[in-house]
Amino acid sequence: MSDKMDFNELNEIHIDMLKEIGNIGAGNATTALSQLINKKIDMGVPKVNILEFKDLSEILGGAENPVVGILLNVEGQINGMMMFVLQQSSAHNLVNLLMGRDLDDFTEFTEMDLSALNEIGNIIAGAYLSSLSSLTELKIIASVPYMAMDMAGAILSVPAIEFGKVGDKALLIQTDFGKGKEEVKGYFILIPEMESYNIILNTLGIMG
């Protein structure tokens, strides 16, 4: 195996390591979320996939499905973009849990709600990036987060335009937090530049 790889050449060792990143990242995110709302949260088994850009919007409920996206640029030993995406119903659940409100309250987001969502997204995204950094021993620096509310297709067009020329695949970690009415479905999407793919995969696999 050469030092140059792409996600089409992943073997079982790489897939297992990527799943481990998903498990640890989701575990860290759940812990951070529990501390934030001061309540124990159950976590489902994370689903880890390598997907093409064009398939991401379907996973998020379709291109026209309204979602909340937290976007960060990633620098350091890897470069690219990462996103933490929530269905709008999940975003309402998160804010209501944090604010101690009735979970059936689906009024418009206030400025305070949006600020809280941005902070929650930043904390959860940081938990995933921290796990990726720990497992790969790579230095990863995240920019100040930018939050957007729009249809899934519009939000995903940002990284697609910026990184579509250098790669068409993303690492997707889908995590369910909580149960029943309190369930929150979250999607962590890492979109590295192609050179960064190789750096990540070289650190995860046994290179020959």
For the chain, the domain total comes to: 1
Q: What is the mean predicted confidence (pLDDT) over 120-136?
A: 83
**Model confidence at 8, in pLDDT bands (50, 70, 90)?**
low
Spatial distance between the Cα atoms of 22 and 188, rounded to a whole number of angstroms: 9
What is the arithmetic mean of pLDDT over 140-157?
87
pLDDT of residue 206: 46
Report yes or no: 154 and 35 within 8 Å, Cβ to Cβ.
Answer: no
What are the pLDDT digits (tens) for 160-207? Answer: 776 665 556 788 888 887 777 677 888 988 887 767 777 877 777 644
Residue 67: the pLDDT is 92
Q: Where residue 6 falls among pLDDT bands split at 50, 70, 90? A: low
183 within domain boundaries: yes
Q: Which pLDDT belongs to residue 207? A: 46
Domain span at 22: 7-204
The answer to whether position 76 is within a domain reads yes
d(CA 103, CA 89): 10
CB 205 within 8 A of CB 11: yes
Helix H, strand E, coil C: the string for the chain is CCCCCCHHHCCHHHHHHHHHHHHHHHHHHHHHHHHHHCCCCCECCCEEEEEEHHHHHHHCCCCCCEEEEEEEEEEECCCEEEEEEEEHHHHHHHHHHHHCCCCCCCCCCCHHHHHHHHHHHHHHHHHHHHHHHHHHCCCEEECCCEEEEEEHHHHHHHHHHHHCCCCCEEEEEEEEECCHHHCEEEEEEEEECHHHHHHHHHHHCCCC
The answer to whether residue 24 sits within a structural domain is yes
Residues 31-62 pLDDT 10s: 888 887 777 878 888 888 888 877 888 888 89
Name residues whose C-beta falls within 8 Å of residue 31's C-beta, 6 or more positions apart in sequence.
Answer: 127
154 assigned to some structural domain: yes
Q: Which residue has the higher pLDDT, 40 or 2?
A: 40
Is there a domain that residue 2 lies in? no
Specify the higher pLDDT residue, 83 or 208: 83
pTM above 0.85, yes or no: no
The amino acid at 62: G
Q: What is the pLDDT of residue 26?
A: 82
Share of the chain above pLDDT 70, in %: 86
Asked if the structure places residue 1 within a domain, the reply is no
Dump pLDDT digits (tens) for 86-117: 888 888 888 888 887 776 766 788 888 888 88
- Is position 80 within any domain? yes
Q: Is residue 124 assigned to a domain?
A: yes
- CATH number, domain of 113, equals 3.40.1550.10
Q: Are 69 and 148 in contact (CB under 8 A)?
A: yes
